[in-house]
Amino acid sequence: MTDTTQGFDPARAQAEEWAHVLRMQEETRKFVAEQHKLIAETSKLGAEAAKLAAEAAKFSRDRDLAPWQIAFGGMAAGAALVGATAAFMKIFG
């Protein structure tokens, strides 16, 4: 009968398995930490994207209202000029 367990040390095998389990747990911890970091970064980028979208909407609104601002500003300037002319004519006229 041949001894197939020659050179096999159960304590060493268990220690190797334990070391393997600990390495795998450490790799898992590193992976989870990296995932949390990436999730936080994605969340931060999402908030920044929302801020930029709001700013773009504001610029679009301002661009759409610019002609109206010019029109109303021109009317106000015209009304002021008419009022000043009327006052000038009343004083010196």
Residue 91 pLDDT > 80, yes or no? yes
CA 68 to chain CA centroid, nearest Å: 33
The reported pTM is 0.54
pLDDT in tens, 59-81: 999 999 999 999 999 999 999 99
Q: What's the 3-state SS for the chain?
A: CCCCCCCCCHHHHHHHHHHHHHHHHHHHHHHHHHHHHHHHHHHHHHHHHHHHHHHHHHHHHHHHHHHHHHHHHHHHHHHHHHHHHHHHHHHHC
Residue 93 pLDDT > 80, yes or no? no
